Amino acid sequence: MSVAAVVLAAGAGIRMRSRVPKALVEVGGRSLLHWSVGALASAPSVDAVHCVVPAGYEPALDPLRAAWGALGRLLEAIPGGATRQASVRAGLAAVRTEWVLIHDAARCFVEVRDAEQVLAAARETGAAIPVIPISDTIKEIDGDRVVRTFNRARLVQVQTPQAFRTSVLREAHEKAERDGFEGTDCASLVERIGVTVRTCPGRPENWKLTWPEDLERARERLG
C-alpha cells in the first residue's frame, strides 16, 4: 500500500514559551521536526513525507534536505492553518497516496516501529491509533465539585502517528467542516462517520513535548 506521512509542525509553542515555533526548537542538535521527519522517512512503508509548518517558515525544511541529500520522499513544506485541524486539512490536500499517517512533530521520540505498527493495525477498518494505559484516577469536575469518577480500565492515552485510509480521513474532515466540529485528534473526526478506529500499543517513550520542562527532560534523555 502507498503511504504518506503528514508531520504537523505549525504550532506556535505558546505553552513552551519558545522564541520560535515549537517544532523548530532544537534538542540534541536537531529540531523536533527533524527528529520526527527522520524517523518517519526511514519507515519502509512510507513513500512520502509532507511537513506542515507556520506560514513563512517553509525554508525550515532546507537543513533537513541538506542533511539527507536528495531525499525524494521529503516533499515541499505546506503552510499550516489557524488550528491543528486546519493544518491537517492543508497537509491532507497534498497527499496522493492510499494511506496517510498524521503525526505531531512535538513527539520527537517517534520510531520507525511506531509507524509500521499503526499502519498494520489500520488495514482492517481503515483507521488506527496507538494508545497507552492510564495509571492515574480520572475524574470529571464542575468548578470545584467532583461529578464522577471514570473506570480507568476502559480509558487510554492516545498518541501519534495515527493511520488512516486517505479517503476515510478526507470524508471525516469534510463532515467536520460542514458541521463546524473541532476535534482534538483525527480519530475523533473519523469516529463521527461511523468508521471503527482500531488501537495498537503505544510507547510511553513517545511522549509529547509541551512545556519548558519537557525540553529539559528531552535533553537529559538525549544527553
pLDDT at residue 70 in the model: 47
pTM to 2 decimal places: 0.93
Query: In the chain, which residues have pLDDT < 50?
Result: 70
Grid coordinates in use for 66? 541538506
Separation CA 74–CA 65 (nearest Å)? 8
- Cite the beta strand spans of the chain per DSSP E: 3-8, 26-27, 30-31, 48-53, 78-79, 99-104, 127-133, 139-142, 145-149, 156-158, 162-165, 198-201
The CATH homologous superfamily to which domain 3-222 belongs is Spore Coat Polysaccharide Biosynthesis Protein SpsA; Chain A (3.90.550.10)
**Model confidence pLDDT, tens digit, residues 152-210:** 999 999 999 999 999 999 999 999 999 999 999 999 999 999 999 999 999 999 999 99
Q: Would you state the pLDDT for residue 69?
A: 54
Dihedrals φ, ψ of 68, to 5°? Answer: -105, 0
pLDDT at 148: 96
Residue 223's pLDDT is 67
Q: Output the CA–CA distances (angstroms, integers) from residue 73 to 40, 69, 100, 153, 210, in the order listed.
A: 10, 11, 14, 40, 28
